[in-house]
Amino acid sequence: MPTKGRIDRSPNNFEEEFADYLKLYIHLDAPSDYICFLHFQAWKYLQKGAVENRIKDYFEVPDSPFDEGEFRKGCEQMLEWCGYHQKNPFQLSISSMDNLMQNFHFQMIEQRAIAQDSDSILDELVYEHQIVKSRIILYNLVHYKYCTIP
């Protein structure tokens, strides 16, 4: 089973962990090849950091200015298999979620609220890869404390 709190895992046990994850969520709203790609990119970022990843990235992202703490939080949630199903969403601010995906070369093309309660909104987000143009649906639970109302 996927283990909470482990962000230092190597790709060696990825296949076994991913198979366990798929057993938990038979119906995913994301293609498995993108889940693998994003999971690996998050792991790589946490191992090497922003500077090393920027040097080797085709688009030289992450860009500056850059909130590394929020980006790390998003990568850690990715390694916990968050975001691929509405029962296990990311829990990031709207800007942090968008920054996370832009840094992995995805552009948001659609956003809609699918659930709401007294302190949060569950967003369904459609992202498109900037090169391949394939799409992925992700989920993010946005707590009102991260929202600013003009």
Q: What is the pLDDT of residues 114-149, one digit of tens each?
A: 988 888 999 999 998 888 888 888 999 998 765 554
3-class secondary structure per residue, 11-36:
HHHHHHHHHHHHHHCCCCCCCHHHHH
Q: Compare 90 and 54 and report the one with higher pLDDT.
A: 90
Could you state, in order of their start, the residue ranges of all structural domains in the chain?
A: 11-146
Given a cut of 80, whether residue 66 has pLDDT beyond it is no
Grade residue 26 by pLDDT with cuts at 50, 70 and 90.
Answer: very low
pLDDT at 6 over 50: no
Q: What is the pLDDT of residues 67-81, one digit of tens each?
A: 788 889 999 999 998
Given a cut of 60, whether residue 18 has pLDDT beyond it is no
Q: How many CB atoms lie within 10 A of CB 26?
A: 7
Q: pLDDT tens-digit profile of 77-116?
A: 999 989 988 899 999 998 889 888 988 888 999 999 998 8
Q: Is the pTM of this model over 0.85?
A: no
Rounded Cα distance between 121 and 94, Å, is 11
The confidence score (pLDDT) of residue 53 equals: 62
For helices 14-24 and 32-56, give the axis angle rounded to 10 degrees.
Answer: 140
